[in-house]
Amino acid sequence: MVNKFRYIFSNKDSNEIEKITYISLKEIEQGRLIDDLKKYTIFSRSIFTGQRDQKNQEIYQDDVFDWASHSRGVIKFVNGQWALSNKNGIFSLYGYCSDGVVVGNALLDKDLLNHFDFKTLELEESII
């Protein structure tokens, strides 16, 4: 598995999200982010889980993931494994990859967290 990351950059002046970059560790080590860091502030950095959803989209840390009929969770690294986290518990991502889809990012799409699987859940750093 290639170590791959998703960087979300915001404008240094306005704090508006302006750029999303997908980059490997090798490219980071070669200095590919240097120009971006001069122009932007890092809003978030997420790690690629090595998994793809049923639409073959890459799944990253902090993605919001829908599976089964009505279930939704946020992708987190918990106890040494990638997991789906919501008010009902923590579920291993590997059992659900082919049955679900990425619907957004928890840090960019806060409205996605209005789903009933997050109601009554105190959203803290361990969840999102």
> Which pLDDT score is estimated for 2?
61
Alpha-helical regions (H) of the chain: 25-29, 34-39
Report whether 114 contacts 86 (CB < 8 A). Answer: no
**55-112 pLDDT tens trace:** 999 999 999 999 887 889 999 999 899 999 988 888 899 888 888 999 999 989 888 8
> Which pLDDT score is estimated for 55?
94
20 pLDDT above the threshold of 70: yes
Tell me the CA distances in angstroms from 119 to 33, 53, 112, one per residue in order: 38, 24, 11
